[in-house]
Amino acid sequence: MTTIKINRIDYKNFKGLKNFSLELEEKNAVVSGVNGSGKTTLADGLLWLLFGKDSRGAKLNPKPLNERNEEILGLEPTVEAKLIIDGESVTLRRVQEEKWTNPKGQLEKVRGSDTTKYFINTVPAKEKEWKEYLAGLGDETTLQILADSAFFMRLPWKTRREILVNTTDLTDDSIINGDPELTELPSILDGHTVEDTRKILASQKKEIKRQIDGVPARIQEVTDMKAKQEEAIGDLDKSELQMSVLETQAEISDLEGKLDVLKSGDASLNYQTELSQEQLKLSEAERQYIADTNLQTQTLQEDVMDKQTEVNDLRRKKMGAEAVVLGIEDTIKSLTDKKAELLAEYKKYKDTTFDDHRATCPTCGQSLPEDKVQQMVSDFNKRKSDFLEKNIASGKALKEELTTLENDKAMAESRLLEVTGQLDKAQSSLDLINNELVQTQSGISPFKETAKAKKIQAEIDLINQKIQTASSDTSEAEMDLRNQIDGLRAVMADLQAKYQSFEQLSSFDERINQLKAEDKRLKDQNQDVERKLWMLDEFTRKKVAALEESINSKFGLVRWKLFNILKNGGLEEVCEATYNGIEYGTSLNTGARINCDLDIVNTLGKEFGIQMPVFVDNTESVTKLHEVEAQTVDLRVGTTKKLKVEVAE
């Protein structure tokens, strides 16, 4: 722990202090005086000595001003502090000097930029050496936080939050690894952030719900088709229909047998064997021709299947990319609405003014004392300023977040455009291969048009002519049998069509069962997605509790709210200090704020390992100051025009 205490600080020509010494001898002190007597200047002096800034962290020009608010030339603002650092005495001095030059050709000197001189234990130091020495004590922000009790709460909320979170070693991984209920979470996240995973799951849930909603209509469609088929079948019995098919087939076979007997008895018998051989030869040639042509198109058919698989995969990727873009757009809309609400609040409170009626006692009707009215006005302005400051900070934060989301959206849209381009390219390639396959197939002539087929067919035709010539005596009988056979074959075709209707009923039942199985699978998927979303919500709740508990355990008075849990289960980062349930930046009174500031300084000093002298302004508003381990200088409004210093015993 590095301990720094003030032994003595000398102010010379520094703002409104012409020559003033603050002798503390490492003890606590109370400095009082009327408003404008220079109390805050004492705190500004220490911070200007160290960093060239005032107690609000702004760059400070310490030159004294005259009654016209103009710099008084010829004076050199100087602050010298004798500090006790870890028991060793160190003297630091900073001097701002005017720089005048005589430009060539001019009689009068011209003032340039002022220069700053630094001294460490009376030894002159360069600015770099000065900063290196201070960096050995602590970084600039840390020392400012510890030297001015109200400095931390004036920092942007994101900076405050980062400092607080850095005081704990909790991480998402440590929270997950320390909770058996969250062991599955890393596999669910799969390298994504919690919020991105939530968007992915929400998109999946939406798509699954869409598919589930469509299943009943698909089942009803198949059910209606089955009902129409059953209506067409009517009172037909499947077994009776099958028996009719067998009986008709038997009749056809009987007539064909009679026809064969009739044909075998005429002079054409000698040509039948020759005809059968040629017909077999024609069938074999046709089979070989079909096998050869199928081999030509096999490779193209395989290419079509491969390219179709690629197109289907890219379509799924495109759906996923579209879901991400929609999720980001929803978030942008929500934040834009919130930003509009902040702007409306800003406009509303910006124009509010102090109610002059409050300067009158509501009981007796007399005007309140001037100092009390001034205090009421000051408190009102402070509350208004704090509210507007917080409102602006929130608006800027939303703007930054919207900018980030717009960038995310641009990246997501770029990814969608990329996948769409890949899909279009793959689809075009698939169309080209399909066209090539169709052209190849269309370029293959039917077997009957080939030279070989024509040659064999010519032989068959010649044999048939010979048979016809030799069969003139039995042609009428054969014609009668053939007509009977053709009639029965027509009946057979009708019976087979009706029998096929029964087979279609089975296919309808199978399809309905498939759809019911798909409905169950989708509902199981939906239940799994909901389980994963619940686990994300559970992690969110536990992370908020663990992080806030870890940080709040370090503070005595202040309690920090670091997250807002949104309606969709996501987290919104915030940094709100509260005391007894009252927000620091809105309704907390001045006294409570000061004690909260001291609690913050005390806790962060322990975390940083540094004790700095801390200036506490407006302590007249506090009945009892919160105790801190560091040296304190209380600044309070008093009745004396000159500063009154009371050093503790």
Of 391, 326, 387, nearest to 399 by C-alpha is 391
Token look-up 């201070």 returns 134
CA 593, CA 591: separation in Å to the nearest integer?
A: 5
Which of 143-152, 378-387, 495-504 is predicted with the least confidence, judged by mean pLDDT?
495-504
Report, as an integer, the average pLDDT of 526-530.
94
∠ CA 169-175-179, nearest 5°, is 145
Token look-up 């044909």 returns 263
Q: Do 215 and 515 contact (CB within 8 A), yes or no? A: yes
Of 181, 119, 445, nearest to 293 by C-alpha is 445
pLDDT in tens, 158-184: 999 999 989 988 888 888 888 888 889
CA 387, CA 393: separation in Å to the nearest integer?
A: 10
Amino acid at 213: D
∠ CA 328-331-337, nearest 5°, is 140
CA 486, CA 492: separation in Å to the nearest integer?
A: 10
Q: Do 146 and 601 contact (CB within 8 A), yes or no? A: yes
Query: Quick one: pLDDT at residue 571?
Result: 74
Token look-up 């309905």 returns 512
Determine what percent of the chain falls in helix, strand and coil, rounding each to the nearest 5: 65, 15, 20
pLDDT in tens, 72-100: 998 999 999 999 999 999 999 999 999 98
Which of 130-139, 272-281, 381-390 is predicted with the least confidence, judged by mean pLDDT?
272-281
- According to DSSP, the β-strands at 29-33 and 632-637 are parallel
Q: Which helix (H) or strand (E) holds 409?
A: helix 370-442
CA 115, CA 304: separation in Å to the nearest integer?
A: 80
Q: Do 292 and 298 contact (CB within 8 A), yes or no? A: no
| Cα–chain center distance at 603 | 34
Classify 53 as helix, strand or coil. strand
Decide if pLDDT at 593 tops 90. yes
pLDDT category of residue 238 using cuts at 50, 70 and 90 = low
**CA torsion, points 215, 217, 220, 224, in degrees to nearest 10?**
-140
Query: Quick one: pLDDT at residue 270?
Result: 57
Q: Do 37 and 642 contact (CB within 8 A), yes or no? A: yes
CA 215, CA 221: separation in Å to the nearest integer?
A: 10
Which of 187-196, 389-398, 568-577, 590-599 is predicted with the least confidence, judged by mean pLDDT?
568-577
Centre a 10 Å sphere on the Cβ of residue 590 and count the other Cβ atoms it contains. 18
Decide if pLDDT at 397 tops 60. yes
Decide if pLDDT at 254 tops 50. yes
End-to-end CA distance of the chain: 25
CA 137, CA 131: separation in Å to the nearest integer?
A: 10
Structure tokens at 475: 């042609």
Query: Quick one: pLDDT at residue 267?
Result: 46
CA 560, CA 599: separation in Å to the nearest integer?
A: 12
Of 107, 101, 146, nearest to 4 by C-alpha is 146
Average pLDDT over the chain, rounded to whole?
A: 87
Query: Quick one: pLDDT at residue 233?
Result: 73
Query: Quick one: pLDDT at residue 171?
Result: 84
Fold (topology level) of 2-156+592-647: Rossmann fold (3.40.50)
Classify 561 as helix, strand or coil. strand
CA 459, CA 467: separation in Å to the nearest integer?
A: 13
Amino acid at 185: L
Cα Rg, the chain, nearest whole Å: 48
CA 541, CA 559: separation in Å to the nearest integer?
A: 18
Higher-pLDDT residue of 489 and 298 is 489
Centre a 10 Å sphere on the Cβ of residue 382 and count the other Cβ atoms it contains. 13
Query: Quick one: pLDDT at residue 127?
Result: 95
Structure tokens at 224: 């209606």
Amino acid at 31: V
Task: Compute the half-sphere exposure of residue 261: CA atoms within 13 Å on the CB side of its CA.
Answer: 7
Query: Quick one: pLDDT at residue 159?
Result: 95
Alpha helices in 72-193 (DSSP H): 127-137, 140-147, 151-154, 157-165, 172-177, 185-189
CA 540, CA 596: separation in Å to the nearest integer?
A: 28
Query: Quick one: pLDDT at residue 630?
Result: 95
Decide if pLDDT at 637 tops 90. yes
What string of H, E and C letters represents the secondary structure of 481-542?
Answer: HHHHHHHHHHHHHHHHHHHHHHHHHHHHHHHHHHHHHHHHHHHHHHHHHHHHHHHHHHHHHH
Question: What DSSP character marks residue 627?
Answer: P
Structure tokens at 272: 């039948």
Query: Quick one: pLDDT at residue 160?
Result: 94
Task: Compute the half-sphere exposure of residue 631: CA atoms within 13 Å on the CB side of its CA.
Answer: 20
pLDDT category of residue 27 using cuts at 50, 70 and 90 = very high
pLDDT in tens, 263-300: 665 545 556 677 788 888 888 888 887 777 777 677 77
What's the whole-model pTM score?
0.53
Q: Do 327 and 202 contact (CB within 8 A), yes or no? A: yes
Token look-up 């000159």 returns 642
β-partners of residue 48 are none
* Cα dihedral 639, 640, 641, 644 sign: negative
Higher-pLDDT residue of 357 and 457 is 457
Query: Quick one: pLDDT at residue 197?
Result: 92
Query: Quick one: pLDDT at residue 530?
Result: 92
∠ CA 93-97-99, nearest 5°, is 155
Q: Do 580 and 569 contact (CB within 8 A), yes or no? A: no
Structure tokens at 154: 């004036």
- According to DSSP, the β-strands at 115-120 and 123-125 are antiparallel
| Cα–chain center distance at 301 | 43
CA distances from 134 to 278, 527, 591, 614 (A): 111, 59, 32, 17
Token look-up 């003890």 returns 27
Q: Do 634 and 149 contact (CB within 8 A), yes or no? A: no
pLDDT in tens, 538-585: 888 888 888 899 999 999 999 999 988 787 766 788 999 999 999 998
β-partners of residue 270 are none
Share above pLDDT 70 across residues of the chain, in percent, rounded to a whole number: 95
Query: Quick one: pLDDT at residue 196?
Result: 92
CA 30, CA 645: separation in Å to the nearest integer?
A: 6
Task: Compute the half-sphere exposure of residue 432: CA atoms within 13 Å on the CB side of its CA.
Answer: 7
